[in-house]
Amino acid sequence: MAYKPLVVSAIAKDTGWPIDGHKIYVAKWSYDPDSWHIYGWEDPEAEVMAKTIWQSLTEAGMQLHDSWEDFKADWDAEKPVTDMVLTFKDEQLEILKVEQEEDPDEEVPGDLPFPDVKVEPRKPTDKGGILLLPMKKNLGDVSESHPDWKLISCPECGAECYEFPEAHRLQLTQGVKLMCTECGIKAGLVKAYSPKNMPHPDGNRAKRRAAKKARRRKS
C-alpha cells in the first residue's frame, strides 16, 4: 500500500507572514515528523500565499527574482518560483480538521527494501516522496551534456550533487524531498549495486590459493 501523509486543514497563526488568519492545508510526513509541510490552499488564498512565499524567501535571502512583480508574473504563469518548501511548526497552526489519516507503508519481508512496490509514473496529484539526485563525484562535470543541471549541496549531507529541472519542479509543486544517492542508500531507500558474481579483487579461488602458496614459500 502506498504511503500517505497525515493531512489537516488549519488556520495559520503567529508566523509573521501574510498567511496568518487564513486557511491552508498542511501535511506531516514520516521523514520529517517535527514540521508541517504546505500541502495546498483554496483559490481565495492564492494571492496571500504568493505574498507569504515571497516574504519568507526575502527574509531568508533565498529569492530567485529581482522584484515582487517578476515573482508574481512567474507565480501567475505557474512557473517554479523557489527551491524551498514552506513549513510550519505545531504552534503556528490551529488545526481545523483531519482531511486524511496517515497510511504508512506495509513492511514487506525479503532481501530488497520494497520488493512488492508497484512502479508507476508520478501523477500531478501526488504529494511528497523522496527524489535521489546524481552525485558529481560519480558523474564528473556534466555542463556540456546537461547544461540545464544545477550543482547543489545535498540537503542531508552537503555532498555535491546535480539538481535537474524536473527535480526542482517536483520540490516546488509537490513537496518532494531531495537527497543524494548515498543518503538514499544509507536510509535504506535503495541498495548499492553489488551483484553476486562480483569478481574477487585478488582473482578467482585458484589464483588466490596459488598466490598464498607462493607467499609461504618465500617466507
| Average pLDDT per block of 10 residues along the chain, 219 residues long | 82 94 91 86 91 85 80 85 81 93 60 46 75 84 84 91 86 86 72 40 52 66
| Domain span at 11 | 1-104
Cell of 43: 483559490
Q: Rounded to whole angstroms, how far apart are CA atoms 168 and 174?
A: 10
Asked if residue 140 and residue 67 are part of one domain, the reply reads no
Same domain, 41 and 132: no
Q: Does the residue 202 lie in any domain?
A: no
| Pair 82, 25 in one domain | yes
For residue 25, the model assigns a pLDDT of 92
Specify whether 5 is located in the same domain as 89: yes
The domain total for the chain is 2
pLDDT score recorded for residue 14: 93
169 inside domain: yes
Q: Classify residue 153: in a domain, yes or no.
A: yes
173 neighbors 79 (Cβ within 8 angstroms): no
Residue identified by cell 531507500 is 189
Cα four-point dihedral sign 117, 113, 169, 1: positive
Question: Quick one: 2 and 99 in the same domain?
Answer: yes
Residues 132 and 98 in one domain: no
Match 486543514 to its residue by C-alpha cell. Answer: 9
Structural domain includes residue 94: yes
Say what the pLDDT of residue 68 is.
Answer: 92
Q: What pLDDT score was predicted for residue 210?
A: 65
In-domain check, residue 210 = no
Asked if residues 2 and 25 have their Cβ atoms less than 8 Å apart, the reply is no
> What pLDDT, on the 0 to 100 scale, is given for residue 120?
59
> Are residues 100 and 135 located together in one domain of the fold?
no
Total residues belonging to the chain:
219
Q: Name the 3-class secondary structure at 217.
A: helix
Q: Is residue 149, in this structure, part of any structural domain at all?
A: yes
Q: In terms of domains, do 55 and 89 share one?
A: yes
The three cell numbers locating residue 25 = 492545508
Is 178 among the domain residues?
Answer: yes
Quickly count: other Cβ atoms within 10 Å of residue 100's Cβ. Answer: 14
Q: How far is CA 106 from CA 3, 95, 101, 117, in A?
A: 8, 28, 15, 10
pLDDT at 200: 40
At 105 the pLDDT is 62
Pair type for strands 23-28 and 36-40: antiparallel
In a domain, 143, yes or no: yes
Whether 137 and 69 share a structural domain:
no
The pLDDT score that the predictor gives to residue 193 is: 39
